[in-house]
Amino acid sequence: MKHLLSTQDLSHADALRILDTAEEMATVSGREVKKLPALRGRTVVNLFLEDSTRTRISFEAAAKRLSADVINFSGKGTSVSKGESLKDTVQTLEAIGADAIVMRHWASGAAAQLADSGWIRSAVVNAGDGTHEHPTQALLDAFTLRRHLALRHGTAPHGTDLAGMKVVIVGDILHSRVARSNLWLLTTLGAEVTLAAPPTLVPVGVGDWPCTVTYSLDEALAGAPDAVMMLRVQSERMHDAFFPSAAEYTRSWGLTDERLGMLEASGVEDAVIMHPGPMNRGLEISAAAADSTRNTALEQVANGVSIRMAVLYLLLSASDSPDPSTPTAPSDRKATA
């Protein structure tokens, strides 16, 4: 694996390799000293040209737990705000010693452009590009779901997929890179995905996607899903009126207290509520649903560190050192195009 740009590019075997590696990385979180020497001597640059809290901090924590050096770079207060091009920015970062560039960008396709450009040899990780994809978010969501499925069956999660799980993704599908990445990954892993959204927030061409589409959240909940993933309404990307009012959206598409009751009465005792964050309480999710024991939002955040540790390890070190506890020399790293 040279880069991680999209979950659509991942095979079933690729996805399981990342998830299984993340299970190994998760054991580090339970230690008194949360460190592995696997990436000692490597440098990871977090290039975030769009606002982020959870993802940036999670990647920083992941790199540091693997003993990598971390450089955090944002567009504000840097040469990017003076008009410097992406090409010049990333070449400067690589000249400083970047081995991997974790990039969030406002433009869809920016990560793929960087990886295919030939401008740098560093590994590229897509941390979210416009409305296109957010692969590590989908991986951590799949990791969380897989653990819950294993708990249901009383088995270890290692080596298993999501065959038979029913997942409903609700809300602003049109502007959501999380929805797209989850759709590709969850279906690759065998889950049945339903998209539930108002017609104005469903992308053109969704009929060709490997999922079921419904315009009724109540209908989706009546199908007894194993997981309901609520999406944030991305008002910062909306330049038109996609629904009459916030109150109307909540009434029709919010996970209200009444719909929480429907989920609890659906017959799936261990059904979970997921959210990529940040949550807009009172809009797409009620306070009761947000604070419910079914809500895995904080579990997802914790699992995100393990997933991102696995991704960085597999990109920068795995081909040279199969044991994460063993560091590799920087000169051993294979160049990426």
Binding-site residues for L-aspartate, in ranges, read 82, 177, 232
Query: How long, in residues, is the chain?
Result: 337
Q: Map residue 27 onto helix, strand or coil.
A: helix
Contacts of 132 (CB under 8 A, 6+ apart): 6, 108, 109, 177, 180
Percent helix, percent strand, percent coil in the chain, to nearest 5: 45, 15, 40
Distance CA 101, CA 120 (A): 10
Distance CA 265, CA 9 (A): 37
CB-count exposure of residue 14 (10 Å: 0-12, 13-18, 19+): middle
Beginning with the edge strand found earlier in the chain, give each strand of the sheet holding 123-129 in spatial order: 69-74, 43-48, 100-105, 123-129
The binding site comprises 54-55, 82, 104, 134, 137, 177, 232, 277-278
Find out whether 126 and 5 touch, Cβ atoms under 8 Å. Answer: yes
DSSP state of 200: G
What single-letter amino acid sits at 28? V
Locate 104 and state its tokens: 């969030």
Beginning with the edge strand found earlier in the chain, give each strand of the sheet holding 227-230 in spatial order: 212-214, 192-196, 166-170, 227-230, 272-274
Find out whether 313 and 324 touch, Cβ atoms under 8 Å. Answer: yes
The backbone torsions φ and ψ at residue 221, rounded to the nearest 5 degrees and listed phi first, read -70, -30
Query: Residue with structure tokens 């949550």?
Result: 279
Find out whether 331 and 114 touch, Cβ atoms under 8 Å. Answer: no
Locate 260 and state its tokens: 């929480």
The binding site for carbamoyl phosphate comprises 54-55, 104, 134, 137, 277-278
